[in-house]
Structure 1
Amino acid sequence: MALKIRPDPRRPSGGYAELSAEARALPETEATVSVFDAFSERFLGLDGWQSDRAEFGPYEVVRDGDRARLVIGPEIVNRIEEYAALKIRVNRIEAELSWPDDVVPMPGAARIGGLAVARAAPAETSTEATADTKGLLTGKLPDPGPEAPPPAAPAEDPAPEEKRRSRLPLIAGLSALALLICGGALAWFLMQPPSPPVVAERPEAEPTPPDPCRPEALAGLDGLPFAEGRALMARCGARVTPQQALAALEAGADAGDADALLLFGEIYDEGANDDPVETEIGLSLTPSASKAAEYYARARAAGSAEATRRLERLCPDLRAASDTLSRSAAEEYCRP
């Protein structure tokens, strides 16, 4: 077999593979790679399997004795299933092979009710009352008894002591009547049922909000608008897998989102690698100045001013490069 493939020994966790061929068959210092699925008869592209041929790279070719080696990354490895029948082309070398099973993708990373308050039952009201109390409740006063006969006419000159004695029975009667009225009112008050105690109800406890970084929420990142998805990735950090971040990024780029296109360019741009998607989540693609320029140009067309500044920084290097891809990118994307 002119072309061999194995896991990249420097990245045992997956996502990268090493292609090798005889050095004389691959004399160039850089190479592009295309992948054709013999079963579906489609080529692998950046957005998935497609009918037109697509090339990835260029990748750096390293000499190792009589072998020439290059490393491909998740942009290819994460899309291929084990034992897939493929036709892989590296520059002029083309080989039919079955994808080995040891080259693996990059790993991914109570209704609380209110408390019921029991209220005290009202006390039973006594139906018995004294005769005097009944009289008060019905508005009738007790019978005072037979009327006393009128007093005899006083003598012309009664003594002062006799005048004072004649008023004592009246005062005593009025006092007894007042005491009787007060006693009846007190008895009526005591017979009233007690008011039930007022118990303040406890408010319902607010439910705990769901965790926005739970796995089922992160699984739908690619279905969110890119601005929402990026904010969620920034909040959840390493709990987001590189595959989930790449899916969200691809969905945003397909929708023409300027920020998604700009971030794609930054990931391909070797001089821009400070975004949390790279530093915290760990999403990485093989650096390619021509690919970075392509995405910067698309982001610029979508209205990104930052993409314009990054393209202005990258274009001098593209113009000065000697490879065909860089010069083509400079002619196509570095025009005002």
Structure 2
Amino acid sequence: MTIRITEDEDESGGYAFIDLGRPLASPLLSFRRQDTEPRHLGAEGWQPEVAWLAPLAVTERDGRAVARFGPNVVDRIEELVPIEIVAQDGTSFGVVAWPTISPAPSGGGILAGLPAAAPTLTRDGIGGPSVAATEAVPLPEPEPAPPQDAAPAAPPAPAPAARKSRLLWPLVALMLLALAAGGAYLYRDRLPDLVARREAPPQEPSPPPAPPEPDSRLTAAELRQRYARLVDERAPAGAFLALGETALASRQGSAAFRAFEEADPVTSADAAWQLARFYDPGNADAAYREAARPDIVRAAYYYALWRNRSPRHTEALRALCEGSAASDRLRAICRP
């Protein structure tokens, strides 16, 4: 059984599960890259001497050992680098092309996601909440009472406002009469229209709008559940290809990439084609671009897996090789 590497979805990046495909007798493993020197991964990075690294945890699943590693391994291996995994007792579990795994967050990115502190009240010097001061309004002083033997005061003259209100009442009455006359005039002119509307047959009510069609797209969580179920069932490549197509239809590019990768691009031409499309600079589809940035070398790698065996892979690879300034890695892939 081949090695299977999957990202730990419970972490924000930098952790992965490595399903070795068979039991593990020794707890220490070695990661050896096959493309360049130095080829051994150590505690401080790549080094010429062999190094043995301990997983964070090892679990048994149906007779297969599953080792969990963190950023000291995951963040130091680039995507598509061929890696041989060897146990300390000399058992080689085979060579695997390292998959796409999100790196561990670093720097201020962790703090940037924290919620802002709740606003607090500014306190004054005595410890209470500060409030805006209001200006005191002095109360009017009471007038002195008149002496009892004084003559009664004359009644006060009516206030100017009272006099004005007496003059306004005739004007208000005239305005109301004018409005009533105007309303009667308009009603007389519109009476034929009102009668015609009343005598017209009632119209049938318009049918209610059709209910919206239910959205058949799956969420990222639902796709992860299906992916995990297929892995546990050891489903064939066709099941992962179908899941990848469903994820693309749901506009979930990351889930689609993981499913196509599990289908094994080395043995599946469709899986290799889809993974190449994720990196092909000529593909602008948003679902693909959400999962991976354009990378002509990686696109050429997946196309080249089926060169001379699949016409579409061969033609797409030729177009990439002819339409770009080739780097050393791209020239090596494009070489027949």
Give the TM-score band, short-chain normalised. Answer: 0.3 to 0.5
Identify which of structures 1 and 2 has the higher relative contact order when contacts are C-alpha pairs closer than 8 Å and 6+ apart.
1
Larger radius of gyration: 1
TM-score norm. by structure 2 comes to: 0.35
